[in-house]
Amino acid sequence: MAKSLKNVVSILLLLFLAPIIIATVQTPLFPQQKQQTATKEVTPKEESTTAVVYAAQLETKTAAPEILEPKKAFVYFTHSQEAYKPILAAKGEKIATYHSENNITSFQEQITAQFAVHQLETDILGPESTGDAKQYDSIRPFVQQAIGQKEYDIILDIHRDSAKANVTTLINGEERYAKFIFVIGREHPNYKWNEQLAQNLSDQLNKLVPGISRGILPREGKGVDGVYNQDLSKILLNVELGGIDNNEQELNRSIAVLAKAISNMLNEDLPI
């Protein structure tokens, strides 16, 4: 009887301890293994990092747009009182070829505006700065000072030709233009530079409006200036804008063509 009771107690004790033994066996021997497993689960995937880096590389390779520096022009008028007969007539003035106010310098604003349309920055030396300087020798120091203080891409001494309408006027379709001609003094060592630049600009003008430029008039010898201050710079041109019979519309139209031609020439970087 005692033996049977002992067996029953042993069985009951075994049943009581079994859950504890099973739980102990299932618990990891090294608790830190569970922490390591969790750490591995939250590690970012390698391909996500790669995608971010690639996007950054694409952004870096985007090139900024190129900003071009505008070209710079310097304009002055040696014979600042040269005038046009039709303009004086329209203003009720006495018809003449010279005038103290209504003269070639009246086109300063038009020149500046048209040059600006074609990305040309323009500095103009007007009579308000040069006073009574109306000849090549008297205006020379003013020009010399101006071009010594700033670098320019082209320098224009603009005049009015003394020729009449049949020589200085072009009819192209329904439009009328004042013609150009370039006067080049050959009595200084570097005149070929000025002459080549004048030829380049004349060609550009005629590409835009065939016949608008009469070309180059070389001057040298007895009775002429022969230099025209062009020895001051190889980019200095003496340009005649129309003649005594050209009207305001014809002149304005030609100034617009001149601005476009200069812009084309300078941006093509033609050799001189």
Q: Which two tokens stand for residue 88?
A: 């004086």
Q: How far is CA 218 from CA 78, 143, 155, 180, in A?
A: 18, 22, 18, 14
Note the pLDDT tens digit of each residue in 129-164: 887 777 999 999 999 999 999 999 999 999 999 999
pTM assigned to the model: 0.75
**What three-state secondary structure class fits 155?**
strand
* pLDDT of 71 above 70: yes
Note the pLDDT tens digit of each residue in 93-123: 999 999 999 999 999 999 999 999 999 999 9
Q: Which residue has the higher pLDDT, 201 or 269?
A: 201
- Per-domain residue ranges of the chain: 2-60, 71-268
Note the pLDDT tens digit of each residue in 1-39: 555 555 555 555 555 555 555 555 454 444 444 444 444
Q: Which two tokens stand for residue 253?
A: 């139209």
Q: What integer pLDDT is reported at residue 69 of this predicted model?
A: 84
Rounded to an integer, what distance in angstroms lies between the CA atom of residue 152 and that of residue 225?
25
Q: What integer pLDDT is reported at residue 130 of this predicted model?
A: 81
Architecture of domain 71-268: 3-Layer(aba) Sandwich (3.40)
Q: How far is CA 25 from CA 11, 20, 22, 36, in A?
A: 21, 9, 5, 21
Q: What integer pLDDT is reported at residue 198 of this predicted model?
A: 99
Strand partners, 89: none
Among 12, 152, 138, 23, CA closest to 78: 138
Note the pLDDT tens digit of each residue in 194-247: 999 999 999 999 999 999 999 999 999 998 999 999 999 999 999 999 999 999
